[in-house]
Structures are given as structure tokens and as C-alpha cells.
Structure 1
Amino acid sequence: MEQFKCSGCDELFSCNTERNHHQLNCKKYFLKIEPSFRAQLSKKKRRARASVQGTYEWALRQPLPKNSKKFRLATDSKYIQSDLEEMVLQLEREIALTQLVSEKNLNRQIVVSHVLKQKILEASEIMADTDLQKKVEAEHKKLKEQRKRDRSQGSALGGDFETKFSLFVPGGAPGLGKRS
């Protein structure tokens, strides 16, 4: 007889449907799914992670605590994005796997998650701006090279000299010109 194992808590089940039903409520299974700041999650998985108290997705759905402005500003200036990611994961494990959770840890998770989301958005905006700037610079460089090529295809003395001091005036047969 085949046995099915939950990938989160390693509990064994006799059929696949029992395992799937168990995984809908298994906190350890949801914690094994990568958070949305590390990997692209489907809407279903994001919603499932948001149902577990203490996860990054759950914290983003919560409003910021009333007196969190100073802590939020201090966290934003003190930590870089990778440190915030590690802190979120650590708090996520602490909160989700313990029975009694302090209000302080919950508020900390909410604030740190919001700060991390803000830093991710800022980083993506900076990346988009630099990409746009690089495209504009490449286009400008291409146009500048094209102008140089167009100019060099004329006479060796340049366009202004050719029009002012030319022996020929416009008109007449192509390539022959008229003497002035």
C-alpha cells in the first residue's frame, strides 16, 4: 500500500486526498514555500501563506501599529534589504511555530515586512530608472554616430565650406553642376 507524506511536517497518509486536505491547514507546509520577496508565487500560494499568522504575506495585510513611526524610520535607515529579509524569515519561524506569541513580536514582524516591501519597491524603481537611462544614452550615442557618418559622406572640407566657397552652384545635370 502506498503512503503519502506531507512535505512540511512529514506526517504519513493513506491517500493523496487526505494529504492534500492536511496541507491546506499545515503551517509547516506553508512555511516551506518561499516568501513572495524571494520567489514569484501564484495567487493561490500567496493567499495560503497570508492565512498563516506571522508570515510575510500576512504581515503586509495588517495595518501598521499606531506608534511604529520611529521604529519604522530607525529600521529603514539601519538595515539593508538582505538583513531585513533574514529578520523577516527569523520572525516568521518564531511566530508561526510557537503557541504563545507576544504582541511585540507581531508588531515587529508587521513593521519590518512593510519596510522590506518599501525597500524592494525603491530598488525596483531605481533599476527601472537606470535601465531607461541606459536606453536613452544608447539611443543618443547611436544618433551621434549616425550624424558623424552622414557628415563624413560629404566633402572632406565639411558642409559649411562646401556651400560658401564652392565652384559649382546648385542646378544643372546631376553630378555635373554649373560653373559660377
Structure 2
Amino acid sequence: MPENDQVERTLHISAHHADAALGSLIGELHSSLIDHDPARRDRLDSILSTVFGHSLGQGSHMVELLQLVGDRWSALILTLLGAGTFRPSELQRVVNLLSRLGGANDISHRVLTAKLRVHERMGLLERTVRPTVPPSTYYTLTPLGRELVEWIDGMERWCFRNEARFHAAQQSFDDADPGE
């Protein structure tokens, strides 16, 4: 059997096993549902297929990005870089100023450097080192990073628009009888 035929056969078998595994998971999902609403079931099937098809487990780019954006510093760092190029020391001063205004602690140089390296690795920003003495390092967003900052800005606007609703829901929950 030629090598290409063997590869094609292996891919077909792998695809068949993946389809069978997905079908098994969907069957298990359906049997665990209390409410058998078809629209709800179809939506859950779609979510399961997305998770299965995109490997949303350990090492998933989507999971990694959501964890990154949800950490303590990344959204702020990326949003600030949306204003333009920064040297690390300048970025640290601005992050710390904004953190203090919000009543939070400062970011250390070590943590900032680690965050910038992760963002660079993900393709969200670009590091430029200029050959001066000592070398000057600058960070700027890539087009991918700018696109993410637009999404973060939209999420911030959504939060501000719904702040009163969040507060009302929290107040209602806190006022409810704990025995309910």
C-alpha cells in the first residue's frame, strides 16, 4: 500500500473514532438532561461539538486566552498598549498609578515582564529592542492584539452599561433568606 494511502486510511479511522466519541458524548449529554426541550438540547449539542472539535482542554488557545484576559493584569496592560508604544518601566508606572487609584497593589517588575512575554508569545504584542547603551525595549500591540483590545473595550462598555443591574442582582441575592 503506498504511503499516501496509508496516511489517508489512518486519518479516516481517526475521524471515525472522533465521530463515534462525539456521538457517545452527545448521547450521554441527552440522557443526563432533565428538561428535554429540543431547542435547549440542540444548543447544548452545538456547545459540546465546539468544545470537542476545538480541544478546549489543557493547552487550548481559547482557554489560554480567556484565562489570560481574566487574570489580574492582562486586560489593563493590553488596554494601555492600545494607546501606543510603551517602555516596560513607563508601562509599570502607569499600571501602578491606575492600580492605586482603584485601591489595588502595584505590579512588580517580574510579574510585568512575565505578562509581557506571555502576550508576546501569543502574538498580541511585539517587542522591539533598540541597540542603545543600555538597550531600550519597547512594546506595542500587533494587529491581533489591537483586535483583542477592541473586544476588551466592548466588554468594559457592557459592564459599565449594566453596572446597576449587577448591583441590583447582588443586593437581591444578599437580601434573600439564606434558607431558600
TM-score (normalizing by structure 2): 0.25
- Relative contact order, higher structure (CA 8 A, sep 6+): 2
Larger Rg: 1
Richer in helix (by share): 2
TM superposition score normalised by structure 1: 0.25
